[in-house]
């Protein structure tokens, strides 16, 4: 059988500023001869577009919700030509999601769009469909597959597994394969389905030729601390700011950069003023990967005090920092041992504890040699487990696209 060469990716939003891990996977597939069509459930409203995403914009499909001629006609055609398939998938969605009425309503709202996308997938001659996120993208892909007969798979990540598992067992059973980005995720998914053999680990790969240390970089005074992520409660940046305030009162000055945007920006700026560190905490805003790379390469320490109750998976920013030989301070996320060993690649602080976070930051800020050793070990761990060239082969095999 010849390898698959035409694949449809179904995602919540494309292009998406903060889903660079999906973009890297797509670019790696395209570089290896796979033609991609992207089905985005929402239209982009973000000002920043990652440079690598531009090549996929002409191949990105959008569709309105029900109140449009193209969608209404697509649903009408499906009711005439495939009434049984359409009604059976509606019944499956209702049966799997009735316990969560809000999620069920959203799934049904996406149904007409899915019917239209099924037509487009057929017209594009796609051989496989692949959903990123087990929530609404997987629901839409399930519908598309039922109406077209195109085999499909999905990649699960974090909140889509733990926060709202509506219809997840049914999706795993219906999919040809299921990828997930941590072994901890895999163990959890295997408890949800008798089809556990479908679930495989596929780490988010990183281009290690691009994410590499800057040659000859030296430790700075005051030490440069970097934090990267959307400005949301789950990232714990308020805890970081509180820790920086404590460290200033202990006599340790830091230069802190928080890169990213989001709804918490004003409250975080207010927290920096209240802690008396507004002169030490810089908010860099939304940055592209190209703009972020020099910040990683120039940092002495990377800090992500993720809030355990509302954060999952392996944060990609930790992988990016370690690839640049920057040691990390973070919290004990369930999947963290797959990337970071406490005391080897960085330090693990207690959850929601700015005093303990300050202790961990201070320990490394005052010890450049320990930071160097941890950075070297971190780069080696990333090379062993998170190299894009190695991980993309697993995705290609799952899609049937490997030679």
Q: Is residue 1 part of a domain?
A: no
Per-residue pLDDT band at 165 (split at 50, 70, 90): confident
One domain, residues 304 and 336: yes
The per-residue pLDDT for 65 is: 72
Query: Is 70 exceeded by the pLDDT of residue 47?
Result: no
Work out how many domains the chain is built from and give that number: 2
One domain, residues 300 and 171: no
One domain, residues 20 and 147: yes
- List, for residues 86-129, the tens digit of each pLDDT value: 999 999 999 988 888 888 898 999 999 999 999 999 999 999 99
Per-residue pLDDT band at 287 (split at 50, 70, 90): very high
Q: Is residue 341 part of a domain?
A: yes
Over residues 142-171, the mean pLDDT reads 91
- Sequence length of the chain is 403
Lowest mean pLDDT of 58-67, 84-93, 176-185, 245-254, name the range.
58-67
Per-residue pLDDT band at 18 (split at 50, 70, 90): confident
The per-residue pLDDT for 236 is: 98
One domain, residues 20 and 154: yes
Peptide bond into 15 cis (omega under 30): yes
Per-residue pLDDT band at 366 (split at 50, 70, 90): very high
The per-residue pLDDT for 158 is: 85
One domain, residues 197 and 320: no
Query: Is 90 exceeded by the pLDDT of residue 368?
Result: yes
CATH code for the domain in which residue 178 is found: 3.40.50.2000
Over residues 63-70, the mean pLDDT reads 81
Range of the structural domain that residue 166 is part of: 6-205+387-399
Query: Is 80 exceeded by the pLDDT of residue 376?
Result: yes
Per-residue pLDDT band at 29 (split at 50, 70, 90): very high
What whole-number distance in Å separates Cα of residue 179 and Cα of residue 186?
8
Query: Is 80 exceeded by the pLDDT of residue 166?
Result: no
In the structure encoding, which two tokens stand for residue 44, read together? 């982009």
One domain, residues 240 and 182: no
Residue recorded with tokens 């601390």:
225
Over residues 337-366, the mean pLDDT reads 98
What whole-number distance in Å separates Cα of residue 378 and Cα of residue 319?
8
Q: Is residue 214 part of a domain?
A: no
The per-residue pLDDT for 218 is: 65
Q: Are 159 and 181 in contact (CB under 8 A)?
A: no
- List, for residues 181-220, the tens digit of each pLDDT value: 999 999 999 998 888 899 999 999 999 999 999 887 667 7
Put residue 400 in one of left, alpha, beta given phi > 0 → left and psi -120 to 50 → alpha: left
Q: Is residue 300 part of a domain?
A: yes
One domain, residues 114 and 186: yes
**pLDDT above 90 coverage of the chain, percent:** 84
One domain, residues 372 and 233: yes
Mean pLDDT taken over the chain: 94
Per-residue pLDDT band at 2 (split at 50, 70, 90): confident
One domain, residues 66 and 106: yes
Where helices occur in 9-135 by DSSP H, the ranges are 20-31, 69-81, 83-97, 101-123
One domain, residues 57 and 38: yes
Other Cβ atoms closer than 10 A to 385: 16
One domain, residues 243 and 286: yes
Q: Is residue 258 part of a domain?
A: yes
The per-residue pLDDT for 262 is: 93
Q: Is residue 216 part of a domain?
A: no
Over residues 158-163, the mean pLDDT reads 85
Give me the long-range contacts of 81-89 (CB less than 8 A, separation at least 24). Answer: 82/147, 85/146, 85/147, 86/115, 86/146, 86/147, 88/146, 89/142, 89/143, 89/146, 89/147
Q: Is residue 294 part of a domain?
A: yes
DSSP bridge pairs for 49: none
3-state secondary structure 280-326: CEEEEECCCHHHHHHHHHHCCEEEECCCHHHCCCCCHHHHHHHHCCC
One domain, residues 43 and 123: yes
């Amino acid at each position: 059988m010849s390898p698959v060469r035409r694949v449809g990716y179904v995602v919540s939003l494309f292009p998406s500023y903060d889903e660079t891990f999906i973009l890297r996977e797509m670019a790696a597939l395209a570089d290896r001869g796979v033609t991609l069509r992207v089905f985005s459930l929402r239209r982009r409203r973000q000002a920043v577009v990652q440079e690598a995403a531009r090549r996929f914009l002409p191949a990105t499909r959008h569709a309105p919700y029900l109140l449009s001629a193209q969608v209404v006609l697509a649903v009408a055609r499906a009711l005439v030509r495939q009434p049984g398939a359409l009604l059976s998938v509606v019944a499956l969605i209702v049966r799997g999601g009735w316990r969560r009425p809000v999620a069920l309503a959203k799934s049904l709202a996406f149904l007409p769009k899915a019917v239209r996308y099924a037509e487009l997938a057929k017209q594009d001659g796609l051989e496989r469909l692949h959903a990123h996120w087990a929530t609404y993208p997987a629901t839409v892909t399930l519908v598309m597959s039922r109406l077209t007969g195109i085999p499909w798979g999905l990649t699960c990540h974090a909140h889509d597994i733990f926060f709202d598992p509506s219809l997840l067992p049914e999706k795993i059973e219906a999919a040809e394969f299921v990828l997930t980005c941590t072994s901890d995720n895999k163990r959890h998914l295997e408890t949800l389905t008798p089809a556990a053999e479908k679930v495989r680990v596929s780490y988010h790969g990183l281009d290690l030729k691009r994410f590499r240390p800057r040659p000859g970089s030296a430790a700075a005074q005051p030490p440069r601390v970097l934090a990267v992520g959307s400005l949301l409660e789950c990232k714990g940046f308020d805890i970081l700011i509180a820790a920086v305030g404590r460290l200033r009162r202990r006599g340790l000055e830091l230069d802190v950069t928080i890169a990213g945007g989001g709804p918490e920006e004003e409250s975080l700026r207010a927290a920096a003023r209240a802690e008396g560190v507004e002169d030490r905490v810089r908010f860099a805003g939304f940055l592209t990967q190209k703009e972020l790379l020099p910040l990683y390469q120039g940092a002495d320490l990377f800090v992500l005090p993720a809030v355990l109750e509302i954060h999952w998976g392996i944060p990609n920013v930790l992988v990016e920092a370690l690839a640049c030989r920057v040691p990390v301070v973070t919290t004990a996320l369930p999947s963290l041992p797959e990337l970071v060993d406490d005391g080897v690649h960085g330090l693990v602080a207690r959850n929601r504890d700015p005093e303990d976070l300050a202790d961990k930051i201070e320990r490394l800020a005052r010890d450049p040699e320990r930071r160097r050793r941890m950075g070297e070990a971190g780069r080696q761990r990333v090379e062993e487990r998170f190299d894009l060239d190695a991980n993309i082969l697993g995705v290609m095999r799952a899609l049937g696209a490997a030679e």
